[in-house]
Chain A
């Protein structure tokens, strides 16, 4: 039987597509992987890219035998990418990763021991208090943190003047009082990031709890009923009573900043990037140390770190690069917020008016955020509980009891 022209054409087209695809696959599968002894692959987030490029040039001129291959990651994709690459054992040599996620990789045994990098040129004691400890297990340190920051109080000077408030609040009572004074039909005293990443909200909650009795041991929060209730009361009641905006439920961190820059929010606990942005726009912004129950209040530090996978192809090259990036001047130039090393904060860029309170907050009133995966697993529940109180559907006492019960169940067995 004969095959007609259209059939021939169709079969040919299908054959071409199939053969082309199979050809590429076979070509790739048989391709030998390139020699990597002189190459260091570094996954860099796009916001660090430009500065990182200059640093790499400097590094390569210092180490002519090494070539750095940079790969750009984005904030929304880095977590999945890194965890899958590490799980599959197909990792680059150096990765810029969030400190919050690093503990999980350490626990899975996926990171190389970097303790040897902490010599007299880079002593662990030069890092922010408690920082290297959170990245260590059994005396071995698995990361080189380079960026570290806390929140502090950011406020609108004009709105404060208009409301007749002399200076920033220094205690919870003043915070509440000032927020009430600032609130008008168009301005809200303060706002909370109840939308977006749940950990943004629980970070603030835990800050308040830590100021009042809750502690962090080995990266695990140890809650006290009283401090939890007070923190829930402070945050929840502010929304119920209307001096924190009801639209908090629709706001993430950047949403609050946008409202603040529209003069719609009087003050909030926010990051140094927000303060910088406002200052660049000549907005009447000022900053202060976060208020606590009866004086300066502690804030959790969060940041980014360099990690080297234990299966890195060029372990030595990665360590050389990590050590280079760990120098104070390089940390100072790469960080978007503050550097992880205290000696690096002397740089003039950290001494602007709006940044000084952040620097003081970091140096005197900060503690590394908990990084126990069991706490991370609890975050959605705590997040929902805070919102229930802000909706008025639960009392702070009930909320505190629920959180304590969950903490007992999930974190109870901690050492």
Chain B
């Protein structure tokens, strides 16, 4: 167990300490971060981005996983493989293909909508400040929903068939079966999935950077974008300051998680 404990320490404790140490050695960076003219906007964007992308991915991932357990379907293995593709293709490529599709000059989405007479002028998906954040969140959902599907699929197989059978004999409706048998059984998986999605949302800049680079006028700038820019110009103290802020936000989620899983965790201590 000792080597494992050491490796675990190297992989988890050292990073956290390194971040805190750096950030505290230059507290000036915090005032630069908080005093920035667009700080409030960025925090709000980050919140919206995280909530929308996590909720969307959970919904679609659940739906896909449950759909693939339907007895009416054949070839579910192949369909599941195809659903995984958005998670497998390189992030830059996924984001680029979406950017092309939504472009107002040569985007197929606008082109088809115009041809079908649904709209007269191209919709500025990526240059309308009111729309852009939801558009990029949609792409984040697109890439992360397969992950939820994978986790939920695996968890669903852990439910013994006898329990479904018992529910059926008791005359439970489909919805009741879902609420009283499926949901409790995959609760811990759901929480882990949500936590992973939150970390991804708070660490991912590729999609936004490729599609809008945070624009227009900062309408899709979130904390990871700011962190990336600070990193690119070698501003290490600002990087650490943002990292501490992100840690604090994530810690809130971990605290919520610990509370939600309290009964489970108490077995430990």
Q: Do chains A and B touch in the complex (CB under 8 A)?
A: yes
Which residue on A lies nearest to B232, using beta carbons? A79
Which residues of chain A come closer than 8 Å to B233, judged between CB atoms?
104, 373, 376-377
- Cα–Cα, bound, A286→B210 (Å): 31
Interchain CB contact under 8 A, A250 and B99: yes
Is B212's CB under 8 angstroms from A384's CB? Answer: no
A264 on the B face (CB < 8 A): yes
A119: shortest Cβ distance to chain B, in Å? Answer: 32
Q: How far is the CA of A246 from the CA of B124 in the complex (A)?
A: 9
Whether A195 contacts B235 by the Cβ 8 Å rule is no
Let me know if B217 is at the binding interface, CB within 8 A. Answer: yes
In the complex, the answer to whether B217 meets A387 with C-beta atoms within 8 Å is yes
B235 x A249 contact (CB < 8 A): no
Bound state CA distance, A83 and B126, in angstroms? 32
Interface of chain A, main secondary structure: helix
CB neighbours (8 Å) of A245 from chain B are: 105
| B104 & A247 in contact (Cβ 8 Å cutoff) | yes
Bound-state CA distance A402–B127 (Å) is 23
A385 to B127, CA, bound (A): 15
Which of B38, B129, B229 is in CB contact (< 8 Å) with A391? Answer: B129
If over half of B's interface residues share one DSSP class (helix, strand or loop), that class is named, otherwise mixed; here it is: loop
A388 to B230, CA, bound (A): 22
In the complex with contacts A247-B127, A376-B233, A377-B235, A197-B217 CB distance below 8 A: no
Check A198 for interface membership: any CB of B closer than 8 A.
yes
Contacts of A154 in B (CB 8 A): none
Q: How many residues of A contact B (CB 8 A)?
A: 33
User: What mask results when residues 367 to 404 of chain A are scored 1 for a CB within 8 Å of chain B, else 0?
Assistant: 00000010011001101110110110100000000100
**Complex interface: chain B residues within 8 A of A117 (CB):** none
Of chain B, the residue at the smallest CB distance from A188 is B105
Instruction: List chain B residues, Cβ under 8 A from A247.
Output: 103-105, 124, 127
- Whether B213 lies near A249 (C-beta < 8 A) is no
Q: Is the CB of A164 closer than 8 A to any CB of chain B? A: no
Query: Is the beta-carbon distance between B217 and A384 smaller than 8 angstroms?
Result: yes
Docked complex Cα distance between A255 and B105 (Å): 10
Chain B: residues with Cβ within 8 Å of the partner, total of: 26
CB < 8 Å neighbour of A198 from B99, B127, B213: B213
Q: Please measure, in the bound complex, the distance between the C-alpha atom of A385 and the C-alpha atom of B215, giving whole angstroms.
A: 11
Question: Across the two chains, which residue of chain B brings its CB closest to A386?
Answer: B217
B103 touches A406 (CB 8 A): no
Complex contact B229–A380 (CB within 8 A)? yes
Question: Is A391 a contact of B232 with CB atoms below 8 Å?
Answer: no
In chain B, positions 60-100 with a C-beta closer than 8 Å to chain A are 99
- On whether the beta carbons of B234 and A83 are closer than 8 Å, the reply is yes
A390 partner residues in chain B, CB cutoff 8 A: 216-217
Kindly identify which residue among A79, A104, A373, A391 contacts B217, using a CB–CB cutoff of 8 Å.
Answer: A391
User: How far apart are the CA atoms of A252 and B37 in the complex, in Å?
Assistant: 25
B218 on the A face (CB < 8 A): yes
CB distance from B5 to the nearest CB of A (A): 15
Instruction: Say yes or no for B146: interface residue by CB 8 A criterion.
Output: no
A129 to chain B, nearest CB (A): 26
Judge if A295 is at the interface, Cβ distance under 8 Å: no
Residues of B within 8 Å of A250, CB to CB, are 99, 103-105, 124, 126-127, 212
- Given A259-B105, A381-B37; A196-B127 close (CB under 8 Å): no
Identify which of A83, A246, A249, A384 contacts B38 (C-beta below 8 A). A384
B105 touches A384 (CB 8 A): no
For A394, the closest partner residue in chain B by CB is B217
Distance to closest chain B CB from A82 (angstroms): 10
Which residues of A83-120 have CB atoms within 8 Å of chain B's CB atoms? 83, 101, 104
Q: Does B224 contact A (CB under 8 A)?
A: no
Per the bound structure, the CA–CA distance linking A252 and B103 in Å amounts to: 12
Considering only CB atoms, which chain A residue lies closest to B36 in the complex? Answer: A381
* A198 and B215 alpha carbons, distance in the complex (Å): 9
Which residues in B have their C-beta under 8 angstroms from that of A196?
A: 213
- Other-chain contact of A104, B216, B226, B229, B234 (Cβ < 8 Å): B234
Within 8 A of A (CB), among B207-264: 212-218, 221, 226, 229-230, 232-235
Q: Is the CB of A391 within 8 A of B235?
A: no
Contact call B213/A197, Cβ cutoff below 8 A: yes
* Residue on A nearest B238 in the bound complex, by CB: A377
Return the contact of B216 from the options A83, A252, A391 (Cβ within 8 A). Answer: A391
28 contacts between A and B (CB under 8 A): A194-B216, A195-B126, A195-B213, A195-B215, A245-B105, A246-B124, A247-B103, A249-B126, A249-B127, A250-B103, A250-B104, A250-B127, A259-B105, A264-B105, A373-B234, A373-B235, A377-B233, A377-B235, A380-B214, A380-B221, A380-B226, A380-B229, A384-B218, A384-B221, A385-B217, A387-B216, A391-B216, A402-B37
What 6 new A-B contacts, CB under 8 Å, besides A79-B232, A83-B234? A194-B215, A195-B213, A250-B103, A250-B105, A380-B221, A393-B217
Chain A residues packing against B (C-beta within 8 Å): 79, 83, 101, 104, 194-198, 245-250, 252, 259, 264, 373, 376-377, 380-381, 383-385, 387-388, 390-391, 393, 402, 406
